[in-house]
């Protein structure tokens, strides 16, 4: 591990603690506070929010807690890309992602295989500033306390056709592997609490329907919003090919529930996709 080219974290110390012991303890508290009935079905994927841990960590923990009994070798994390880049699909040029809890090696062979299954080029970036993929990693590191590998994909072009192609390619890449999918998304942004609750309920209903196309319909018609809607859709398309037939929303809150300011909130949902 010592010789890997590790992507340095641009968000440790702001979006989550940069002290390893503090970070591990805080994530463990979020996970310990989850009180979920056992998921009887086999977990294929989870959907988790990606704000700073202070805001969305408690909700995210509900998604990651459903992975407790699993031991995947590979975790594919699919997120939006919030910054400008001309390429539709992005990944890291580094050999590993660094967090205060240590490096997570990128599975280069899985990335190569994924590219072989999709005609859209996956562009590799050095030192990308994206938070929405990295923010999930400390949860994975505290759930899976052994070396697993990462398949990181960031979607810049949030188009239905691209998400569907990515989902098909992910399914082909992961079908013979011991792998889990993670979709990273927040919900509506900067509406008052009542409006946010209504918009988010509609989008979560779309997630629960396991109909990825309906997610885009909600986004484009303004019935609900998710900044990572294409990531969720891609993961759902992949999960369906891998046998998934059920989505359970396991937690929901807004930033207002944390800050007490309900005039302008961001919505956070957690869900598990099973077969």
pLDDT digits (tens, 9 = 90+) for 150-159: 999 999 999 9
Give me the helix-helix angle, 108-116 and 160-174, nearest 10°.
Answer: 120
Closest CA to 259 of 188, 186, 201, 190: 190
Closest CA to 79 of 137, 24, 119: 137
Mean pLDDT, rounded, for 52-70: 97
> In order of start, what are the domains of the chain with their CATH numbers?
10-274 (3.40.830.10)
Q: Do the Cβ atoms of 122 and 115 come closer than 8 Å? A: yes
State the DSSP H helix or E strand holding residue 79, giving kind and residue range, or none if neither: strand 74-80
pLDDT digits (tens, 9 = 90+) for 209-235: 999 999 999 999 999 999 999 999 999
Distance CA 132, CA 35 (A): 25
Distance CA 199, CA 156 (A): 23
pLDDT digits (tens, 9 = 90+) for 23-57: 999 999 999 999 988 888 999 999 999 999 999 99
Averaged pLDDT of the chain: 97
Q: What is the C-alpha R_g of the chain?
A: 17
Q: What is the 3-state secondary structure (H, E, C) of 171-234?
A: HHHHCCCCEEEEEECCCCEEECHHHHHHHHHHHHHHHHHCCHHHHHHHHHHCCCCCCCHHHHHH
Closest CA to 140 of 45, 204, 206: 45
SS3 42: coil
Q: In sequence order, what are the beta bridge partners of 259?
A: none
pLDDT > 60? residue 264: yes
Q: For position 2, what pLDDT does the model report? A: 57
Residue whose tokens read 């937690």: 251
Cβ neighbors of 208 (< 8 A, separation 6 or more) are 247, 248, 249, 271
pLDDT digits (tens, 9 = 90+) for 85-139: 999 999 999 999 999 999 999 999 999 999 999 999 999 999 999 999 999 999 9
Q: State the pLDDT confidence band at 1, using cuts at 50, 70 and 90.
A: very low
Q: What is the 3-state secondary structure (H, E, C) of 82-98?
A: CCCCCCCEEEECCCEEE
Q: How far is CA 15 from CA 24, 197, 209, 228, in A?
A: 14, 24, 31, 18
| % pLDDT > 70, the chain | 99
pLDDT digits (tens, 9 = 90+) for 174-206: 999 999 999 999 999 999 999 999 999 999 999
């Amino acid at each position: 591990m010592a010789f890997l080219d590790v992507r340095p974290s641009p968000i440790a110390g702001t979006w989550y603690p940069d002290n390893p012991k503090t970070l591990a303890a805080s994530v463990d508290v979020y996970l310990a506070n989850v009180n979920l009935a056992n998921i009887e079905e086999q977990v294929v994927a989870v959907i988790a929010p990606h704000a700073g841990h202070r805001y969305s960590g408690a909700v995210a923990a509900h998604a990651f807690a459903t992975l407790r009994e699993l031991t995947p070798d590979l975790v594919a994390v699919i997120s939006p890309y919030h910054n400008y880049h001309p390429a539709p699909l992005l990944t890291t040029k580094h050999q590993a992602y660094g967090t205060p809890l240590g490096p997570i090696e990128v599975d280069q062979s899985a990335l190569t295989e994924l590219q072989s299954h999709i005609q859209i080029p996956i562009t590799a970036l050095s030192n990308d500033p994206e938070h929405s993929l990295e923010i999930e990693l400390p949860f994975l590191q505290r759930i899976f306390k052994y070396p697993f590998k990462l398949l990181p994909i960031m979607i810049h072009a949030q188009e239905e056709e691209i998400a569907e192609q990515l989902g098909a390619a992910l399914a082909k890449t992961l079908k013979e592997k011991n792998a889990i999918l993670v979709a990273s998304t927040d919900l509506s942004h900067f509406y008052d609490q009542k409006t946010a609750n209504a918009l988010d309920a509609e989008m979560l209903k779309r997630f629960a329907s396991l109909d990825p196309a309906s997610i885009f319909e909600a986004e484009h018609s303004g019935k609900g919003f998710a900044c990572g809607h294409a990531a969720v859709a891609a993961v759902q398309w992949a999960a369906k090919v891998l046998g998934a037939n059920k989505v359970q929303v396991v937690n929901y809150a807004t930033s207002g529930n944390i800050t007490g300011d309900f005039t302008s909130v961001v919505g956070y949902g957690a869900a598990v996709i099973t077969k």
